[in-house]
Copies of this chain bind each other. A is one copy, B any other.
Amino acid sequence: MKINICQFNYKTAECKINTQKLHDVLEKSNDEVLNVFGELSLSGSPLYNKSLYSDLYTESNQLCEQLCKTNKSFILGMPNKDENGNCYNSLIFVNKGKVLATASKKHLSRFDLNFSTGNGIESLTFEGKKLAFGFLEDLKSSSLNCGDTEVLILCGNTLFDKDDEGKLISTLSSYAKNLKTQIVYVNRVGAEGCYVFNGSSFVVNEKGEVCKQLDMFEEQESILDMEILKPETIKTPCYEERIYKASVLGLKEYFEKNHIKKAVIGLSGGIDSAVVVVLGVAALGKENVTGILMPSEYSTEHSVSDAEKSAKNLGINYLTIPIKGMFHASLEAMKPVFEGTEPNTAEENLQARARLMIVMAVGNKTGAAMLNTSNKSESAVGYGTLYGDDSGAISAIGDLFKTDVYRLAKWINRNEEIIPFNSIEKAPSAELHYDQKDSDTLPEYDILDKILKDYIENHKSKSELIAIGYEQNMVERVLHLFKINEWKRHQEAPAIRLSKTCFTTDFFNPIS
């Protein structure tokens, strides 16, 4: 028996386009191959409230019938409505034009909005083999009688997680060994909004050995003869390469699927914008990215020269628009309110917001979308200006702590200086008042990030953090800053999700 693992990228709610892709595969497929297209391959995912509309189901049904007419064998994922009007996330097993079985998802995930609970994993005999097929989520508590299942085919839309070191493979390997069955896992690839799907579909044999793994982040097909599976050594890209590729893929897809060609980004000479512009160029091409330098009276000389170098190293267009005129006009306008007061964040925010106005004006005039340059450490403690540098269409590094941004920068520079060395080496500064440094108001990033990771990723509460050995005052200040900035995080640019604790998709707290 031969299985074609189709690790594809799909366009959400563009059923016709997706069907065309699947149709092309079936047209050239041999009769004896079972093509596995994966979860919601017909409709794309996440569907959000698209799954509320009846035409999605009507269209899906029609398109499934079209695919059946190829007389080939396949497992198709699609939204599916039964005669009672209940909607399911279903996998349809089709053999030479005939539907043999349907497995609908039982353990619904957060992407299964509006779907009802289905029947779970289904078993059938196909070409003399005992098969079972269904959704990854349904495996754990499956009442599957696996005594005689020879091949278990699972589909899923597994999200990229930078910290995952092959956990899914080892889980499914154990299952395979225990159940004495081969397991094929078909994941999708690509991105939708903030979500990146990493691919890495794989096959394990009945001893739990990995016999095939498809690449991360790439559309691939791979036909496997299940009679002659051989163990294979798998290679996983390093941490930096994984986050680099996931971010670039996320950006690329955001722009492509929104039909936007060009990006605009403010270049401060700091490490964050220097890294994001590299990711932007990798995603969109250097001809499609414009950098804007917006010096003020508080800008150091190196901030201009580092920003210029960053643009020149990449060969992108850049222009310089000083904010002095706008800043002074806004101070003038604000005189009735500001006069006689001590300068505070109000004046600082005016500068950050003047810069936002400029970047967005370039974007609005040239049809380009703004790349946000905030990192996760800043978002956590509110070190950024809402409707200023916190803004943008999409954030490439919003789910990376500052120390990860440094790590990524050094990796990008592994062969040559792409990111100016000085941007990596100098002390981070917002440059919103004279001689300002991030460390004036924040702990050093290596400490701050450790506290934040223990708090956010390891769920250590205040008392536990202090018990670990962090200084009490520092813990209290960081947790206080985290708490009072929740409202800002709710309005920041959506961040490409690289972890289970991304602020714009996963890690929420009360805003009041």
A residues at B contact (CB < 8 Å)? 12-13, 44, 46-50, 52-56, 191-194, 253-254, 257-258, 319, 321-323, 325-326, 328-330, 332-334, 336-338, 341, 344-346, 349-350, 353-354, 356-358, 360-362, 364-366, 386-387, 391, 393, 459-464, 487, 490-494, 507-512
Contacts and interface: CB of A to CB of B under 8 A. Distances in A.
Stoichiometry, as copies per complex, reads 2
Contacts of A326: 326, 329-330, 333
A334 B361 contact: yes
A510 B192 contact: yes
- Kindly name the residue among A341, A393, A491 whose own CB sees the greatest number of chain B CB atoms within 10 A: A491
B361 A391 contact: no
A58 to B, nearest CB: 9
Contacts of A322: 333
B512 A192 contact: yes
A191 B510 CA distance: 11
Nearest to A342: B365
A364 to B, nearest CB: 4
Contact of A387 (B13, B193, B387): B387
Contact of A321 (B47, B325, B334): B334
Nearest to A14: B510
A462 B55 contact: yes
A59 B81 CA distance: 46
Given A326-B329, A361-B337, A491-B391, A49 B193 contact: no
Nearest to A51: B459
Given A326-B326, A350-B361, A463-B55, A366 B391 contact: no
Given A326-B329, A337-B362, A508-B48, A350 B357 contact: yes
Nearest to A506: B49
A364 B326 CA distance: 18
B49 A254 contact: no
B345 A364 contact: yes
Contact of A459 (B53, B356, B492): B53
Contact of A325 (B333, B357, B361): B333
Given A349-B361, A361-B349, A361-B350, A494 B491 contact: yes
A357 B463 CA distance: 40
A453 to B, nearest CB: 14
Contacts of A487: 258, 393, 494
A349 to B, nearest CB: 6
Contacts of A191: 512
Contacts of A345: 364
A190 to B, nearest CB: 10
Contact of A349 (B364, B366, B461): B364
B461 A54 contact: yes
Nearest to A487: B393
Contacts of A507: 49
A49 B508 contact: yes
Contacts of A192: 510, 512
A198 to B, nearest CB: 17
Contact of A509 (B44, B49, B391, B509): B49
